[in-house]
Amino acid sequence: MFYHNKLAFDMINKQTFDIVMKYRTDVLLNDKLKLSFVKQLQENTIYIPKKNNFIGINDQIAYGNYKSMRLYCLCVDNLLEICDSGIIYNPEKILQEHLKLCNINICKFIFNYRLVRRNSLRKNPNLQESPTPTF
């Protein structure tokens, strides 16, 4: 996961972007995504949903400015150091420790979404027809 985040970020042209967003492809939005927050981005800050933190921080959805997200996506570069520190091997915890090492602020926001799993497709056959929400 961390390696692929870095590879994906490296594909971004080095142009200036107002926002860079990372989310898993199995995320199903229950609310409309409003982009009004873009004007309020703080430097050196990553924005993540309040839920699904487990024993670290949510690694399913994140956004920030180009520089902050670049640091976010370089977690693989600190992986050995973080794992050697004796923390629990958990992606959410590893990401949290990486962001601490990079002195990145974390701002949590309320966002209603869920992950689409194979068994959720069986429970709701309509998801098979339209796995992405309409906006």
Q: Using the structure block, give the residue that is written with the tokens 């839920």.
A: 51
* CB 26 within 8 Å of CB 117: yes
Asked whether the predicted pLDDT for residue 53 surpasses 80, the reply is no
SS in 3 state form for 19-71?
CEEEECCCEEECCCCCHHHHHHCCCCEEEEECCCCCCCCCCCEEEECHHHHHH
- What is the share, in percent, of the chain residues with pLDDT greater than 70? 81
Mean pLDDT of the residues in the chain? 77
- Give dist(CA 38, CA 42) in Å, integer: 9
Rounded-to-integer distance, Cα 129 and Cα 114, Å = 17
- Give me the pLDDT at residue 112, please: 77
Distance separating alpha carbons of residues 16 and 53, to the nearest angstrom: 30
Give percent above pLDDT 90 in the chain: 7
Mean pLDDT of 97-101: 87
Whether 105 shows a pLDDT value over 90: the answer reads: yes
Give the model's confidence band at 131: pLDDT under 50 very low, under 70 low, under 90 confident, else very high: very low
